Structure 1
Amino acid sequence: MKKSKLIMVATSFVLGTFVLASCGTKEKEVKEPKESIIKSAPKKEKPKKKEMVKKEQSSKKESTGSVDFSKQIAEMKKETDAKSIEKIYASQEPIVKNQGEVVITLDGYEYMEIKDFNRDFAIPFEEQIERGGIMIAKYTIENKEDKEVYFTPSFDLNYVGTSKISMGIKSLLPDEKENLSSVMVASKFKITSGETKTGYLAYAFGPTAFDKIKEQASITLTIPGVHTKPDSFKSDDMIGSPEKIELPISSQGEEKKEANAIYYQDKVTVDNMGEKTMIKEKSNINKTETLEDVDVTIEGYQFTDFVPNEVEAPRFDNAENGFVLLTAKFQTENKSDKDIDLSMSSSVLRVNNGTQRLLSSSMLLATDRNNQVLEQGSKKEFIQVFLLDKEQYEKIWKEKDFTLEVNLRTKEGKTMGTGKELSFDLPK
């Protein structure tokens, strides 16, 4: 009798509250929208248009690219004794991400519906055997570093409204020469310099998750980081950092991804926390300020109207006035003899011609805080986000001056420049 294995990971996290600070007797404190504390939370450069196939009457798509999943799908149908596995959506456009000199490619994926399958597979499909979803994906990892690296293929899938993460289900792809998890286990997760590893992962979704993903028209994939030491999960041993990408599973999802591509990659955008609408943006500012041989360059900013979705709304108090986000994008270059921790660095937004101020919101950053060290001689993007009360923005602040002040801290937590701030006036 066949056995199935499922690893389900539930994550929970606690969100902090916004802190307001006043500075000087002439400055007023601004009552900023607060974040609610909850026990568990659900878990661009314009992209090229996907090379997808023509729509059929059933709204299903057929692949036109080079990745052919027909063999693996036939094996899954046989393994599960399924009455049918029907393709819903297929993407053949490679998505390439670099972790240092390690190139990680999602070569393609297909999203399908499975019906009437063997009871041995009930657990991954919410303890039932009538219907569910399957996604199969092909990955390639190429090591261009001059040293061996260690890679755990934790390409996890998540979607808005749940804290559950779907990992690859080995029993759906039992061929150890093709299953990426088996391939990496066989090599003890090591990839030597110049070596390439490739393989497939299959994911299972019960009917509740399947319907929710269909409603949202997309799913989020986490690209894992790469480590330089075996059995290490420390950020100090990591090359690059985990990154989330949105994968459409319908033409509606394609349109949604393309619309979101214009926005800076804060957590609201990356985690689909709600709807953004552009109010005002300025790009190519490219103003540089230097502090102790660390260059900080503001590239641009975006003011957006933000409406949290029903899942995220309970995290925000004072929602009756609405919210405006200010997201600023910086590039940093460390020419000093110290390592800078960007996750410990912060910024202040001066509003109302400098008479009021707001602190940046760390909970709206999409970056991995464990991998935000700006090492000597390196460069990194630095995003800062502010949550503004929409009524105050519209009635008081909108036409007045905005100034961003950035504070830098070393890896040891020491404030650089004896508290000196880098100041950037936002051009109108």
Structure 2
Amino acid sequence: MHAWPASEVPALPGKGRDLRIHDTATGGRVTLAPGPVARIYVCGITPYDATHMGHAATYNAFDLVQRVWLDTKRQVHYVQNVTDVDDPLLERAIRDGVDWVGLAERETALFREDMTALRMLPPKDYIGAVEAIPGIIPLVERLRDAGAAYELDGDIYFSVEADPHFGEVSNYDAEVMRRLSAERGGDPDRPGKKNPLDPMLWMAAREGEPSWDGGSLGAGRPGWHIECVAIALDHLGMGFDVQGGGSDLAFPHHEMGASHAQALTGEHPFAKAYVHAGMVALDGEKMSKSKGNLVFVSKLRHDGVDPAAIRLALLSHHYRADWEWTDRILQDAVDRLGRWRAAVSRPDGPSADALVEEIREALADDLDAPSALTAVDRWAAAQESDGGTDESAPGLVSRAVDALLGVAL
């Protein structure tokens, strides 16, 4: 599966700072100091409706992570999946009377268009669940053969008891885990499971649903969590730098994925840091496909909204915050974009060297994009009121805003 084209990231003078970021597993900030190649895995979409502002906010956060790393002169190995076979996708295809494969391809193509328009840096490896199945099957077999998985009416379940570190990603208690499992695709009440929290690794073929030859597992399709584990292990290996996604993925998805990988390899941790973006609401409720309260990037683009303004609207909120999308937020972003573009259009201006360092410091401090925007606002205000004589300043501001914030002026 191919990703989307990469926009050029301008080079800046000097060097960025190592990223200090909130780690869900420890509950505090950690300083990430990757090697020459920083490794990040971000969970992708289930392509039955793409791309709403909640998606965009999440991918914007991890785009900033990449940009901070690139500014430290590191390379970045970014991997993202596409869950192109799963219950929600199949249910939507049935509801709309369309082929599930065609639906997945259409929505994935739209997602690529939105990511391109928003100048999100693409993953090096963009892998669909379907294409990953040949690598998933042997992992499930290994877990089963090691006693870390078991069969129940033809389905294969992972035993959470097989990982002594289970629970260390989300740090939720058993009651909360059970509730969230039921809400987020699990089946804690299914009779016969060794532990209500045990997640499915391989679903035996159901009538009328797609399935693949699973060898000794029988015909079926993979569970949600093992998909990402197989892709991450294949392309990044254990102990990669950041596992990312929305805060609703901390449990069960990232918790279960970590336990799958740790049981498979005997190593810990799966990722050095688990980083989660906040939820975006509309009309008082979390924006989600199941509720249908969505603001789509493609619809805004179709209505003539500049993608740079959409990106500025996202950047105006801290990535870990839960916030609500409003027309006012978008209009403020449109106005800010206009002020910035007017400021850099002049032939000279106030020196911008300190501004570049302010942006770097803000982003290194747990991706504090709102503070970075405020710093640019101050420079633009100084340009408007007093101006300056530094002929290099407007160009430097344009390059810095592009390189570090992903906004083209």
TM-score range, shorter chain: under 0.3
Higher RCO (Cα < 8 Å, 6 or more apart): 2
Question: Could you state the TM-score of these two structures normalised by the residue count of structure 1?
Answer: 0.25
Question: Could you state the TM-score of these two structures normalised by the residue count of structure 2?
Answer: 0.26
User: Greater share of strand residues, 1 or 2?
Assistant: 1
User: Greater share of helix residues, 1 or 2?
Assistant: 2
